[in-house]
Structure formats: C-alpha cells, structure tokens
Chains A and B, each alone.
Chain A
Amino acid sequence: MEREKLERKIASLKAGDARAFDYVYEHTHKPVYFAILYVVKNKADAEDLLQETFVRALRSLGSYEAGSNFTGWLVRIGKNLALNHLSRARREVATDFSEQAWKYGTHEHELPYIFDLAAKVLAEDEYEILMLCQTAGYKRREVAAMLNIPIGTVTWKNNEALKKLRKILEQEGDA
C-alpha cells in the first residue's frame, strides 16, 4: 500500500508537482543513505553524496520506470556515486599523501563506535538491514518491501548482524 502511494507521489513529482518531494524524500532517503555510508564510512561525505543522489535522480526522473522499485533505483545511483567518490579520494590520497582522510573523516564527523564497527564487520546486506530495522525504525515488512527480499531473510540477517556485533563487543570486553 505504501509502495503504491510512493509511486503515486513519484508520478506527481514527475508531472511537476513539487509538493510530492517531502513524501518521496522521507520515504526513501534512509536506505540510500546507509548504502552510501557503508561505502564511504564518513557521515559528512555520506550526506553530501545523499544530496547529490537525490538531485541527480530527481533531475532524471524521466528515466525511472514506474513500478520498478524506486528506492532500489536510488540506492543504485547512490552506491555508484559513493564508489566514484571513493576512487577519486584514493587517487587524491596517492597524490598528496594525506592520511586516508577519506576513510576516517574528521573528528567532528566521526560516527558513534557501534556504527563504525557495524560498517567494518558486517556484510553489506546485513549492515543495511540492521540499520534500517534498528536505527531508521522501519518494520521488517517495510524493509523487505524496500529491498525486495522475503521478510524471513530480513529477520534472519537482522538477527545474524546483532549476534555478530554482540560477539565482537563481548570479545573486546574480555580483552
């Protein structure tokens, strides 16, 4: 039902009704953001790339095929931009010998440790599902619809991700 409403709002936006923007952004930006964050691991960069993703996507909304999973389309654009950003940053690092600033970011944009750890130790799908279920506040059913996977898979991956993080934190606690 929500997906149908989202498609209606996208159609409105495509037809030039800017009032639909709020709904579209609010219902799609978090999965896109976490997909980007997993790649760049820096909040400020992820926010800039999120902005770029939406600007590019909405400017070329005509190329989106209605009903073909808009969130997935945005995520693909976001990931491509993130990977390009990473490649560019790596080249810059090689040139100016800076200390992998692209990887760790500046202090003011540091992520809380648990998020940093999750991005480092979890597989991409586990990370994304965990963030959407536990941090973004989506229900497992909504995450399943967004990522176009069965709800059982969402539950399984979410639990696996939690177990992995708990195990590592316990090991760190023992050390």
Chain B
Amino acid sequence: MKDIKKMLKTQAKDALPDASVKERVRAELGYTQDTAQEAAYAHGGTRAVNKKGLYSLLAAVLALVIALCVLLPVLLTGGGGTTVLPPALSAAGDFYAYSAASAGALLSQGAAQAGTASLRRTLTAEEQDRIRQATDEYLRLAEGLLAEDSITHEAVAVPEEYAQYRYAMTITAHGLAGDTVTYTMYYSEALSSEETEENESERAYDITGVLVTESGAYPVRGGRLSEEENEGGETESESELWFEAYTGENSYIRIEQEAEEESEGSETETERTHRLFVYENGTLTESTTIDYEEENGEAEIALTILRGGQRDTLEFRRETRGGTEVLFVEADIGGLQAQMRVYPEEDGYRYEFMEEDDD
C-alpha cells in the first residue's frame, strides 16, 4: 500500500497541472499580479539587495525556518498564545537532527569552493564546469537545510530598540571550514486558530518580526500549522511552516516547509519538503523545491529548480567508498545530464564525474 502511495506522491509532479495554467487564466481574465507587491509594501520591505545578497538572505531565512522547527514546539508548550522562553532548546534536537541530513555536511562549505576538476570525460571540460558551477550555487542555497548539526540557536534578551517584539534568538550557521554566520530574529507569535474534531486536531500560529543579518534588517512574517489525524491503526501528522522576508517594496523571498510523518504498524515514513520562492518586482523569478526523504535509514535529497524557463534537477545520496563517506550526485542542468561523486578533502571538495557504465 505504501509503495502505491509513494508512487502517487513521487510522480505527482508529472501528473499535476503545470503552474503556467494559472498564469494563462490570469492573463485571459486580465488580472494583474499586484497582490504580492501590496503585501510586500504592507510589511515595510524597503531594502534592495543584489543577487549575492539575495542568496545570503535565502540561506538566512532557511536557517531560521529550520531553527524554528525546533524552537516552536518547545515555545508553544505554553499554549493559548502565551508562551514562555524555552528552558532547553535542545529538547527538540531530534526533530532538527532528522531534518538536517548529514549528507549535507559534505556539501555545505566545500561545494562553494572551486573543487578540483573532474577527471573523467563523459562530458567536455566546459560542460563539467557548467554543471559544477550550477551545483555549487544550488548547494550553497541548501547548506542550512542539509548540514548536520550546522545550525544552532539560542534565546537571547530582547534589546530596547526591538521592544515591540516579545522574543529574540540568535541562529548560528556553522560551515565545515569552521566559519560561522550569525543571524538574529526578533519576533512575536500568537495562536491564530485551534480546531479539534473527532480524531483530528489543528493549531495555527502567526509570527511577525525582524530578521537581522550581516547585510541588513528585514521585516519578516510567517506562520505555522500543525495537524494530527488518527484513523484505524494509522496515524498521520503534518506540519507546515512558512516565512517571508521583504527585500524591497515589491520584492520578497518566501520559504515554505512541509513535514509529514505516517505510521502504520511498525513502519514509519517521514518526508520533508522545502520550497523557496524569489519574487522580484512582484514577479516570481525563481522557485526551488527541496525534497528530503528517509526510509529504512536511507536518506535522499532532491532539488528541483525552476528559473528563467529552465528546469534543473539535482539528486543526492550518501555512499561509502573505501571507508570514506562520499556523496553521489545526479544532475540535470540545462539538459546536460551527469553523475558524479563528491569527495571531501582538506582544501575543499573534489568532483569526480562518472562514465555511464560506472557503478
């Protein structure tokens, strides 16, 4: 049964309608895309960022989302929208540890550095460079999500200048090379709805605040929804978390996380998905989906990137070769397909492109 469910879920993207249908309807009816613009304006986004800054901000918000995954269940134990500071944030560490696949630790820092060029010529050197460059970019984006124990957080006192917010926390992202980046979030949160009926329960929370990074302070807003459903011997629990950080009057980034756990008898499956959207001048310019799935102790991560009319995919899984943990990567970048292994080395990472008949 689970195999069929899995098939339906994993192949859903090939069966569900294309996002362009919505745009075609919008165009035919003459609806303009000013919703996002007005929302951004309403939340006071005023800071313009360049492309590099945008990816840094994406990484910051992603780290924030991951940290909040751990933080919120602890924070919200106060219930009823009145919360207390968490006595021990590490109590929810297992939740985070699950979502942060250790595979990412191999990717996080070294991928951003120029690795030693590959050595097998399935593709031309130029093509390999192109794939490596694209992989580096996407992996930097995913660093916060993927690296095991790379993100820590701590509740701190709220300074006077942010007195309108009830809580403050610092989130520190650690790179493999020992470097760290710290963000600070000042925020308030409140229970926005609660619903319980028969074997289902649902709670939603709203969060508003400011995210301070090395490049500036960004107004943010977000929300969290948790649901649990019991039916017969099956239990399903789902949680959703979303965050928006405003980078300009009409520009913002949005990160959504969905997590689902399903248990039937002794079997448990967990899936986690992050979606990252970049809106510039009110238009969606890039979207990335990161799927993380673990079953029977095996983890797989898949990124699907839509940008400029191009769809790229990257899939990762861990392998052990000769006692060394390496990362097996399958990439489809602009129609160029490649399989490669990424080896961690002292000064970065080495990419090894594989021939078709390699195992």
Q: Which residues of A contact B (CB under 8 A)?
A: 1, 18-19, 21-22, 25-26, 29-30, 33, 37, 43, 46-47, 50-51, 54-55, 58-59, 111-112, 114-115, 118, 130-131, 134-137, 139-141, 151, 155, 162-163, 165-166, 169
Stretch of B5-13, B246-254, B291-299, B345-353 on the interface side: B5-13
Known: A112-B7, A137-B12; 7 extra A-B contacts, CB below 8 A, are A1-B195, A19-B35, A112-B15, A115-B15, A134-B4, A135-B15, A155-B231
With known contacts A51-B21, A111-B14, A115-B15, A21–B8 Cβ distance under 8 A: no
Residues 15-29 of chain B, each 1 if its beta carbon lies under 8 Å from chain A, else 0 = 111100110111011
Q: State whether A43 touches B21 (Cβ < 8 A).
A: no
Distance in Å: Cβ of A114 to nearest Cβ of chain B: 5
Q: Which residues of A contact B29 (CB under 8 A)?
A: 18, 21, 55, 58-59
With known contacts A50-B17, A136-B16, A162–B35 Cβ distance under 8 A: no
Q: State whether A51 touches B4 (Cβ < 8 A).
A: no
Distance in Å: Cβ of A98 to nearest Cβ of chain B: 25
C-alpha gap A112/B15 in the complex (Å): 7
Q: State whether B7 touches A114 (Cβ < 8 A).
A: yes
State whether the Cβ of B164 lies closer than 8 Å to any Cβ in chain A: no
Task: Give the residue name and chain of the A residue nearest to B2 (CB).
Answer: A162
B12, B18, B25: most-surrounded residue (chain A CB, <10 A): B25
Distance in Å: Cβ of B51 to nearest Cβ of chain A: 26
6 contacts between A and B (CB under 8 A): A18-B30, A21-B29, A50-B17, A51-B28, A112-B14, A169-B4
With known contacts A19-B34, A59-B29, A112–B11 Cβ distance under 8 A: yes
Q: State whether B5 touches A50 (Cβ < 8 A).
A: no
Distance in Å: Cβ of B95 to nearest Cβ of chain A: 21
Q: State whether B8 touches A135 (Cβ < 8 A).
A: yes
Q: State whether A30 touches B16 (Cβ < 8 A).
A: yes
Distance in Å: Cβ of B262 to nearest Cβ of chain A: 11
Task: Give the residue name and chain of the B residue nearest to A110 (CB).
Answer: B14
A46, A51, A59: most-surrounded residue (chain B CB, <10 A): A51
State whether the Cβ of B157 lies closer than 8 Å to any Cβ in chain A: no
With known contacts A22-B35, A30-B16, A135-B9, A166–B4 Cβ distance under 8 A: yes
Task: Give the residue name and chain of the A residue nearest to B39 (CB).
Answer: A19
Q: State whether A47 touches B17 (Cβ < 8 A).
A: yes
Question: Total number of A-B contacts with CB less than 8 angstroms?
Answer: 100
Q: Which residues of B contact A165 (CB under 8 A)?
A: 4
State the interface size on chain B (CB cutoff 8 A).
Answer: 38
Q: Which residues of B contact A (CB under 8 A)?
A: 1, 3-5, 7-9, 11-12, 14-18, 21-22, 24-26, 28-32, 34-35, 38, 193, 195, 197-198, 200, 227, 229, 231-232, 236, 238
Task: Give the residue name and chain of the A residue nearest to B236 (CB).
Answer: A139
Q: Which residues of A contact B200 (CB under 8 A)?
A: 139, 141
Q: State whether B231 touches A140 (Cβ < 8 A).
A: yes
C-alpha gap A111/B241 in the complex (Å): 31
Distance in Å: Cβ of B10 to nearest Cβ of chain A: 9
Q: Which residues of B contact A29 (CB under 8 A)?
A: 17, 21-22
Which one of A18, A51, A130 lies within 8 Å of B8 (CB-CB)? A130
C-alpha gap A28/B180 in the complex (Å): 44
User: Which 6 pairs between the two chains have the least Cβ-Cβ distance?
Assistant: A18-B31, A112-B11, A19-B35, A134-B8, A54-B25, A135-B12
C-alpha gap A88/B236 in the complex (Å): 44
Q: State whether B17 touches A46 (Cβ < 8 A).
A: yes
Task: Give the residue name and chain of the B residue nearest to A169 (CB).
Answer: B4
Q: State whether B15 touches A51 (Cβ < 8 A).
A: no
